[in-house]
Amino acid sequence: MGLLDKLFGKTKENETMSNVNLAVVFYSMSGTNYQLAKWAEEGAKAAGAEVKVLKVEELAPESVIEGNEAWKNTVEATKDVPVATSDDLEWADAIIFSVPTRFGNMPSQMKQFLDIQGGLWANGKTINKVVSGMTSAQNPHGGQEATLLSLYTSMMHWGAIIATPGYTDPVIFGSGGNPYGTSVTVDQDGKMVEDVEGAVKHQAKRTVTIAEYVKKGQQ
Ligand SMILES: Cc1cc2nc3c(=O)[nH]c(=O)nc-3n(C[C@H](O)[C@H](O)[C@H](O)COP(=O)(O)O)c2cc1C
């Protein structure tokens, strides 16, 4: 392995990966975070992980969703995606969360999901999960880092191991350069502004790799 590979955390080409279970848990109102979740799935599968893509339960009243075309379309597009459960988290060695920024915070739907994991937490089942977060926002400085920090605050209470991308690969610079986790700006038409597909896949691979180190270390 060359010096640059070491600096950017590249694995050796012939390195075999033990099987890591990864849950990608997302909330999405207009499809962005669903797309980020699917890219994470691709990246993690390419890294040899067993992957489940899961949504959190919708909490908004039907009457509100009905009046919003993009929201209705996302509900339809994700209707066959299973709702995440505590059992899924117990199964997972690693979890990637993907959430839109809501007033500089995670959406209540994701907060509710975290808040109903008290039983899992009380039984020590959240300890040593390797976790990482992704987000989107309408503005380039609309609170992305704050959203990820809100998620990571809860993860510290879980005893989880937070695996951020940092600047571990050149692809991060091209995607907007958020070391807290991949984040993307979404324009008025709901289109992603930065090209973050590579950064998401790198983050997924890195999360799987770190989970693999943790799993091997525990054996
Ligand atoms: C209630 C609400 C609050 C929002 N707050 C912010 C915000 O603080 N900063 C920002 O840039 N965008 C904000 N947005 C825009 C969303 O972050 C953006 O629509 C979202 O990232 C798109 O993700 P999705 O397609 O997965 O739903 C807000 C949107 C809503 C509906």
Pocket test for ligand 1, best of 102, 178, 187, 193 (most atoms within 8 A of CB): 102
- Helical axes 197-218 vs 32-46, angle rounded to 10°: 50
49 C-alpha to center of ligand 1: Å? 30
- Please indicate whether residue 29, judged by its CB atom, sits closer than 6 Å to ligand 1: yes
Count other C-beta atoms under 10 Å from residue 189's C-beta.
6
Q: pLDDT (tens digit, 9 = 90+) per residue, 138-197? A: 999 999 999 999 999 999 999 999 999 999 999 999 999 999 999 999 999 999 999 999
Nearest CA-CA partner of 207 in 177, 163, 155: 163
The residue to which tokens 């089942």 are assigned: 125
Instruction: Note the pLDDT of residue 1.
Output: 47
Q: Are 137 and 100 contacting, i.e. CB atoms less than 8 angstroms apart?
A: yes
Rounded Cα distance between 128 and 146, Å, is 23
Ligand 1 neighbourhood includes 138 CB (under 6 angstroms): yes
The model's pTM is: 0.93
**Residue 68, exposed/middle/buried by CB under 10 A (0-12, 13-18, 19+)?**
middle
pLDDT, tens digit, 9 for 90 and up, residues 61-77: 999 999 999 999 999 99
Mutate to test the pocket of ligand 1, among 25, 138, 139 (most ligand atoms within 8 A of CB): 138
- What percentage of the chain exceeds 70 in pLDDT? 92
**Are the CB atoms for 20 and 52 separated by under 8 Å?**
no
Q: Which positions ≥6 away from 51 have C-beta within 8 Å?
A: 22, 23, 24, 41, 44, 45
Higher pLDDT, 5 or 109: 109
Query: For position 219, what pLDDT does the model report?
Result: 75
What average pLDDT does range 81-105 have in this prediction?
Answer: 98
The pLDDT of residue 55 is above 70: yes
Please count the other Cβ atoms lying within 10 Å of the Cβ belonging to residue 112: 13
Spell out where the chain has E strands: 21-26, 50-55, 94-100, 130-137, 161-162, 183-185
The pLDDT of residue 199 is 98
Tell whether ligand 1 has an atom less than 6 A from the beta carbon of residue 178.
no
